[in-house]
Structures are given as structure tokens and as C-alpha cells.
Amino acid sequence: MSENYNKLLVESVPDQQSANELIGKLFDVTRPDAVFSQPVTVGDHTIITASEYSAGMGVGYGGGGGVGPAANEEASEPIGYGGGGGGGGGTTARPVATIIISPSGVRVEPIVDVTKIAITMFTALGAMAMALRKMKA
Amino acid sequence: MANFTDFLQLKTVQGTAVQTPHHTLIPESQALIIKFPFGGFVWQRPTAVLVQQGGHSQRLPITDVTRLATWSVLAASLLLPLLLRLIFKQATDAQQETLTAQ
């Protein structure tokens, strides 16, 4: 179509490659070190925290161009082209358990997120109330 | 041709051993990886810890109590209305049968 459009496409290739490299790095974090914390020793006791985590990421890009009708005979080739991209991601982590190592032995103590359970319970109760009301109607 | 495992992976990985004066601990975790051409998702959770002490090895599972509780609440919220509806329907049917018999 035009040199400029080709240039735009060629220039966007390194950006796409770096985006793909960034996505690749997301999968490199699947190591147990990411889930288990460094041991903390206090006296005879050593504590390790185990957490659950999730991460998600996405990118998108595109470009395009076109040739329009000439406004007058002097304009040789009115063209338009453009490109763009965007991305987003997020991570969440939540402690699941604590591993306590003492001279007497090793024990795993669960960490209970009461707030999360309460929020789920209230949401579920609300949904149940609505479902029961619909059933009665 | 792209393999299914290229898009979805579930793997169990063991980490580096943690040495303490009395024990050796090997952490174990499970990872779910979903890959898309323009993105991906990773979910990793701790599953167990292997404890080695004087040639004796023990596996201590890590239970996510919060996740268990939230899923139980969600399951109950789905099942309970269905159960109540069944009971209510049976009671109504029985009542109607009694009225017809009379």
C-alpha cells in the first residue's frame, strides 16, 4: 500500500516480541519459592508461610490502513494508517497456612480468612433469598 | 499442530529443601497454567511439605480451609433452594391429593 504503512508494521514487530517475552515471564514464576516464604527463625522455632497466588495477563495490538478517494486531482494518494496496543494484568495472593518447625516436631496451622468466608456467606444468603422469592412467586 | 498441553498445564513442583537443626523440609506446590496466544493465567497453591528427620520421611498436606469453606457455602447455596423446592412441591402435591380424596 505504502512505505509508511509497511514501516508501521515492521516497527510494531519488536513491540509484539517484547509483549510475548513479558507473557513468557509470567509462566516462569511457577516455582515453589513463590508460594513458600523464606524461613523466619525465632529462638527454637522456625516459621514458613505458605500462600496461594494467581496471576493473569493479556495484551492486544493491531493496525490498519487504507486508501481513500482523491479529494482533487493534485492529491496523488490520500492514505491513512494507524496502529495501537494495550495490555493489562493482575495478581492476587492469600496466605493459606503456616508451617511451624520446633524441636518437638513440624506442624501445619491453617490460616482462615474469616472476612472472605463471611462475604461469600452473605452473598450466598442473598442469592438464596432471591431464588426462594422467585420460587414462591 | 499445537498440543493441548501447550495451552493447559497442571504440574506439581518441589522446591529447594529448607534445613533446620532438627529437620529437612521440602515444599511442594501445584500450578495450573493456562496459555493464550496473547496472554495467560497462572494459579499456584501449596499442597504439602515433606519432612525428613533421621532417615524418616513424612508428608504433611496443606489444606486451604478458606477455599474449602467458601466452596462449601456456594455449593450449599445452590443445593438448599433446590432441596427446599422439592420439599415444598411434595408437600403441596400431598395436600392436593388429600383435598381431591375428600
Work out the number of other CB atoms within 10 angstroms of the CB of residue A91: 12
Give me the pLDDT at residue A68, please.
Answer: 72
Taking the Cβ of residue A52 and every Cβ of chain B, the question of whether any pair is shorter than 8 Å is answered with yes
As given in the structure block, the three cell numbers for residue A45 are 522455632
Cα–Cα distance between A36 and A32 in angstroms, integer?
Answer: 6
Cα–Cα distance between A130 and A28 in angstroms, integer?
Answer: 44
Which of A62-66, B22-26, B40-44 has the lowest average pLDDT? A62-66
Categorize the per-residue pLDDT at B51 as very low, low, confident or very high, splitting at 50, 70 and 90: very high
List the one residue out of B24, B23, B19, B27 whose CA is nearest residue B48: B27
Give me the pLDDT at residue A72, please.
Answer: 61
First and final CA of chain A: distance in angstroms? 64
As given in the structure block, the three cell numbers for residue B39 are 496472554
Residue with cell 494459579: B43
**Chain centroid to CA A16:** 18
Prediction pTM value: 0.72
As given in the structure block, the three cell numbers for residue B1 are 499442530
Taking the Cβ of residue B90 and every Cβ of chain A, the question of whether any pair is shorter than 8 Å is answered with no
Contacts of B70 in chain A (CB under 8 A): 116-117, 120
As given in the structure block, the three cell numbers for residue A56 are 493473569
- Whether A87 has a pLDDT exceeding 90, the answer reads no
E-strand stretches of chain B: 8-14, 18-19, 24-36, 39-53, 56-61
Q: What are phi and psi of A74, to 5 degrees?
A: -75, -35
The pLDDT tens digits for A43-81 are 888 999 999 989 888 888 787 877 776 666 565 666 777
Categorize the per-residue pLDDT at A94 as very low, low, confident or very high, splitting at 50, 70 and 90: very high
Among candidates B44, B66, B70 on the partner chain, residue whose Cβ is nearest the Cβ of A30: B44
Give me the pLDDT at residue B90, please.
Answer: 86
The pLDDT tens digits for B53-96 are 888 899 999 999 999 999 999 999 889 888 888 888 888 888 88
Residue with cell 486508501: A67
The pLDDT tens digits for A6-30 are 666 566 666 667 777 777 777 776 6
B 11-70: CB under 8 A from A: 11, 13-16, 18, 20-23, 25, 27-29, 31, 33, 35-36, 38-46, 49, 51, 58, 60-67, 69-70
Three-state DSSP state, B56: strand
- Judge contact between B69 and A112, C-beta under 8 A: yes
